[in-house]
Amino acid sequence: MKKKALVLASGALLLFSAAFGQAKLVEKVTKTGSQMVIPYEKYLLPNGLTVIVHEDHSDPVVHVDVTYHVGSAREEIGKSGFAHFFEHMMFQGSDNVADEQHFKIVTESGGTLNGTTNRDRTNYFETVPANQLEKMLWLEADRMGFLLDAVTQKKFEVQRATVKNERGQNYDNRPYGLAFEKISTALYPYGHPYSWLTIGYVEDLDRVNAADLKNFFLRWYGPNNATVTIGGDVKPADAVKLVEKYFGAIPRGPEVKPVTVAPVQLDKTRYTSYVDNYARLPLLFVNYPTVANYHPDMAPLACLAQVLGQGRNSVLYQQLTKKQLALQAGGSSQLSELAGEMSFQIVPYPGKTLADMEKLFRASLDTFEARGVTDEDIAKFKGGIESQLVNGLQSVSGKVSQLAAFETFTGNPNRIAEMLKAYTSVTKEDVMRVYNQYIKGKPAVVLSVLPKGQEKMIAAADNYTIDSAGYKAPDYGYAGLKYNKAKDNFDRKKMPGNGANPVVAVPAFWRKSLANGAKVIGTQNTEVPTVTFSLTIPGGHLAQAGDLKKAGLASLFADMMGEDTKNYTAEQLSVELQKLGSSISVSSNTDGIVYSVQSLKKNFPATMALLQERLFNPKFTEDAFNRIKKQTLEAFKQQKAQPAAVADAVFAKLNYGTDHILGISQDGTEETVNNITLVDIQNYYNNYMTSVDAKVVVVGDITEAEAVPQLAFLDKLPKKKIELAKVNPTPAVDKTKVYLVDVPKAAQSEFRVGYATGLKYDATGDYYKSNLMNFPLGGGFNSRLNLNLREDKGWTYGARAGFSGDEHSGDFEFSSGIKAGATDSALAEVMKEIRNYVANGPSNEEVAFMKSAIGQADARNYETGFQKAAFISRILSYNLPANFVEQQNKILQSMTPAQLKALAQKQLKPEKMNILLVGDKTKIIEGVKKLGYEVVELDADGKKLEGKTF
């Protein structure tokens, strides 16, 4: 019998009766008035599974999130990395889902998917067309209740290798990649759940076996430790019935109690250090222990981090970066479920020690104390928070993720208004209080990251070693675990079919050509009260095609356009924007300078006034120019220590040549940037500001009638035609060679294989068709290249290939980071896959999969403001017909294996490709030479080393 409902002030309805056969309706939250709320219904199944459903029919998509309250904080000493390892294993098939089919089923359904692990939770999620919901729930339930019998030793070994490659790519093979690992071991006591990183240690991964992993699953992956959140074009009653069907019979897991740890307390400042083989400049980290997430001090700590270390007005930027005492200086507050940290990072200019930087950092804190917290600090903090929370609600995935996180960590999904209130109630006194409580005079962990050969740059000698004495491991509850499977009254082996195809509406848009020569396109989207605006003025990188000695000028100009104006300092302009909850950024691309605006609707006119100030009144000062130029030059040096950055830069030179504008980075080089003067910046402004052929894109909660009057300022721009240089023809590759750049001790080899195709972007011609052709080869997780190198061999964290192009040129490129010891074998496999694909083309099954995956993806292509902006921007840039998507779908459905094979033979020339390997020469050269290719050694600038052809 249904009991009386209690209406809460929050707009929630608490009901205590079963709404369906198994699920109990716990509460229903609806939106009333203008309050910030994400409407939902929350249910509880008898097995402990929490279910949350958010109904939103604005787009024909659904987002499914399954969050398990298990992260690295549930791991034990000697077995780190399990939660993340299991994230990988959960994609490897279960009783009723074959190996490597999870990604394939979701992709074929027109969806996208992933999983993430952090200290405190693991989540798995899919965004798919609305008609695919039942299939997604079937998939998620199968790996929750029917996984372990499908976990084989072979799968275990392959995924262990993949995780090692991920660690190599994101930690071991990257400048400063091990910094947080070193900080964690020094900040947290031995055995504390946060004293190791989520990725874990390689030695722990080597130590464990499949039985250990299965026990971890049995302990933590039960339905009573999980939340299923569904959002989008769905009716709650339908969604809950499906959850009952597929999850309801899964047995409850062992009881899971909250992790409890004592607050971190340091008796003195701990100094620690390590030598980094990839860094070119030292780095100082200073970390203070603070509080856990959702603590009352969460909001004032976030404001303090902004005042001290975020943006142009921050104390560290003003005291160190702007004065050119440090190359970079910033800070942030990171709060997790069990503890939190306030972290500061400072990179010195060459020659300065980290001891110098620590003194400057502490002097900056003194400056902050004297300065205090201002009314403007509070106003801009509140404006930014409101904008951030509103923008987070643009997509159904954003809303679902927020609901899932609130439920997992607080038990209350209806927290967003409370969060907004907490942040917007922060006072100056609150911020100074938390500064005094957690930062002023308090001990911290001070980490020195030291490039090889710069060990004397240390802040202070190490004074801390890990103390494991007295540690007693808790009982994690692994004894007596048993694997119990659900008993069903239906055939779970039968994969659900598709529901009725959703109706996909391409965004309606309006176009207008202005008398001043600008072209405008816009679309209205009333889901959230925001406006996204962009203005592209012709110029950019191609403006230097006739003077390569000053390549990078457009990029430097864009940076300077973000500095002082005649009426505002850059800091004052930043304050005004943050008060409004708005942003204005200036960037350079191949053929234009782009002014990008993000604003709440109510503040759009005021934001556009600030855009005009930036556009018409720049003040190009010598101080700003010298600082930006100096930072740019140091960045080039840093990039030479990053194998992926080196690979990208050198590969462009191989494909286009050193005397081709597209062979040079849009940022330029050390040599070309050194040639640029402040006069060049002013000349660029004088020569390349125009309304003619300018492109304007307006998306959001704004009509054409509201938008057009806001564009009157374009009449103030010069009305002149900008003629950009034509791009030189793409140089041909005479034969396939291997080019090698040596990075000693690199854990991985960066691969780049391909050539400049000269194939320009088109929506319905060879470019579009070539990307369809590439899909089975390298265009998705289930592509031949990724399955071979990652899933079958375990040599990489990911491998991809594809065509890219614009109106000027195009490329084909395979890219991956491969573990060093497998470099020669992986190269042989890459070239074999390409040759086989050219010779035989795709299979009938691959073509059917491609058609289904790409054809159904339209349902999720136009959901957010950014997606709509990208769509209509493409129409404007390439003058596409309004029905070009319909034309593409007809082409897609008509493509045959024979046509795709012919395209492969036309566009892929394995005998005429550039192969670039960036890695440890001593580990890879002998194996690569045996493959029969001519091998040419280059330096990090792409220049051939004399006598270095093998």
For residue range 560-610, what is the model confidence (pLDDT) as tens digits?
Answer: 999 999 999 999 999 999 999 999 999 999 999 999 999 999 999 999 999
Would you call 732 helix, strand, or coil by DSSP?
A: coil
Mean pLDDT (whole number) for 925-943: 94
345: amino acid identity, one letter = Q
pTM over 0.85: yes
Query: What whole-number distance in Å separates Cα of residue 735 and Cα of residue 720?
Result: 45
Mean pLDDT (whole number) for 484-490: 92
Query: What whole-number distance in Å separates Cα of residue 611 and Cα of residue 595?
Result: 8
**Percentage of the residues of the chain whose pLDDT score is greater than 90:** 83
Residue 173 pLDDT greater than 90, yes or no: no
Angle, vertex CA 278, rays to CA 275 and CA 282, nearest 5: 55
> Where residue 945 falls among pLDDT bands split at 50, 70, 90?
confident
Mean pLDDT (whole number) for 129-151: 95
Lowest mean pLDDT segment, chosen from 7-21, 137-151, 914-928: 7-21
Q: How many residues does the chain have?
A: 950
Query: What whole-number distance in Å separates Cα of residue 741 and Cα of residue 546?
Result: 29
Residue 2 pLDDT greater than 80, yes or no: no
The pLDDT of residue 165 is 87
Domains of the chain listed by start with CATH number: 42-247 (3.30.830.10), 270-391+411-457 (3.30.830.10), 510-716 (3.30.830.10), 737-949 (3.30.830.10)
Query: What whole-number distance in Å separates Cα of residue 289 and Cα of residue 291?
Result: 7
> Where residue 169 falls among pLDDT bands split at 50, 70, 90?
confident
Q: Residue 282 half-sphere exposure, CB side, CA atoms within 13 Å? A: 28
> Where residue 21 falls among pLDDT bands split at 50, 70, 90?
low
Residue 148 pLDDT greater than 70, yes or no: yes
Would you call 257 helix, strand, or coil by DSSP?
A: coil
Mean pLDDT (whole number) for 881-901: 95
Query: What whole-number distance in Å separates Cα of residue 162 and Cα of residue 151?
Result: 15
Strands of 695-700's sheet, edge to edge?
510-513, 519-524, 695-700, 530-538, 592-600, 583-588
Query: What is the DSSP code string of 12-42?
Result: EEE--SBSSSSPEEEEEE---TT-----EEE
Q: List Cβ<8 Å contacts ≥24 apart for 473-476.
A: 473/76, 473/77, 473/191, 476/74, 476/76, 476/219
Residue 62 pLDDT greater than 70, yes or no: yes
The pLDDT of residue 742 is 95
SS3 sequence, 527-583? Answer: CCCEEEEEEEEECHHHHHCCCHHHCCHHHHHHHHCCCCECCCCHHHHHHHHHHHCCE
Q: Which one, of 558, 751, 551, 545, lies nearest residue 665 by Cα?
A: 551
Residue 7 pLDDT greater than 60, yes or no: no
Residue 3 pLDDT greater than 70, yes or no: no
Residue 201 pLDDT greater than 80, yes or no: yes
Cβ–Cβ < 8 Å for 914, 655: yes
